[in-house]
Amino acid sequence: MKTQVHDSARFPIASFLWSLVLCGLIGSTCQGQGNIPTAPGATVSQAVESLSATSPVDSLTFDFNQDIGVQLIPFDEMYQMALAYSPTVKFEGAVASSQEAAFRLAKLQVLQNMTGFANYSTGNQAIISTGTAAVSDQLGQISNGYRTGVNLVVSMHDLFGRSQQIHLARSNYEATMERKRTAAIQLKRDLFNLYQDLLLSQRILKIRLQDDQSSLAAYRIAEVELQKGKITPEAAAFNSNRYAETRTTVEQAKTQLIKNIYALELAVGVPIRQLKR
């Protein structure tokens, strides 16, 4: 460092020009970034507020300075809400209901071969009969009265294939029920991963903000020392670049937190405010 200061002393004009250029770049950068903190100690809530205006979710429902896990409803309740609103689970449930109806219909399909009939007749049908009087009286009864009965036709398919048809319908119904349970398990797995990603993104943002405050402090100290000629412009540029990198990671962490909140809201199917205790 002594050598660097001694070199600056040997070239005072070049050092002064470097200082002017660097200060101009730093000033324009600070003016262009409206959400750069002006003082150490920025909170997670203050960081997230900068993205809440353009966010598709109401992220200000929560206090991000506290653990978001204690502000959300229990995971089991969240999962039950997701089951009630999940389109995938609803679809599989509807398919299972249709297969259950098909199974019941297969057991009753034999009834389509059974028919009943009834008719009634009266009046003179002009039946010509010959023979004795007893026979004539019996034939005359056909002209008046009613008839009822049942007609049953049993095919070879009904005798040998009906049991297999019922077994096929039962298997399809059981398969759809298993697929519905699989969809529910997959939903629970995805929801748990999103829940953990949300908690992790909040912890990462806290760590990034701490690093950002340290970089900001080093950046301001470097500005002062550059004006006093204690460090070279290269050293000040290094601190400026380090601060820009930490700001980038903070912005990425904020965006990831908002994305995780939105993903959790979509997975459950209700607004995020309904997930708050």
What is the rounded distance in angstroms from the CA atom of residue 268 to the CA atom of residue 257? 17
Cβ atoms of 40 and 217 closer than 8 Å: yes
* pLDDT over 70 at 6, yes or no: no
Choice between 19 and 264, residue whose per-residue pLDDT is larger? 264
Instruction: Grade residue 130 by pLDDT with cuts at 50, 70 and 90.
Output: low
Q: pLDDT for 25-76, tens place per residue? A: 334 333 333 343 444 455 666 666 655 555 555 555 778 788 888 899 999 9
Helix spans in the chain (H): 2-10, 12-32, 44-52, 75-85, 87-108, 133-140, 156-160, 162-228, 233-268
pLDDT for the residue 102: 87
Give the HSE-up count for residue 140: Cα atoms under 13 Å, Cβ half-sphere. 9
- Using only the alpha carbons of the chain, give its radius of gyration: 42
Mean pLDDT of the chain: 75
First to last CA, the chain: 56
Taking each helix axis from N to C end, the angle separating 44-52 and 233-268, rounded to the nearest 10 degrees, works out to 70
What is the rounded distance in angstroms from the CA atom of residue 134 to the CA atom of residue 150? 30
Residues 6+ apart with CB under 8 A from 49: 60
* pLDDT over 60 at 15, yes or no: no
Cβ atoms of 19 and 226 closer than 8 Å: yes
**Short-list 128, 126, 129, 130, CA closest to 143:** 126
For 183-200, b where at least 16 C-beta lie within 10 A, e where not — what string?
bbeebbeebeebbebbee
pLDDT for the residue 105: 86
Helix spans in 75-129 (H): 75-85, 87-108
* pLDDT over 70 at 189, yes or no: yes
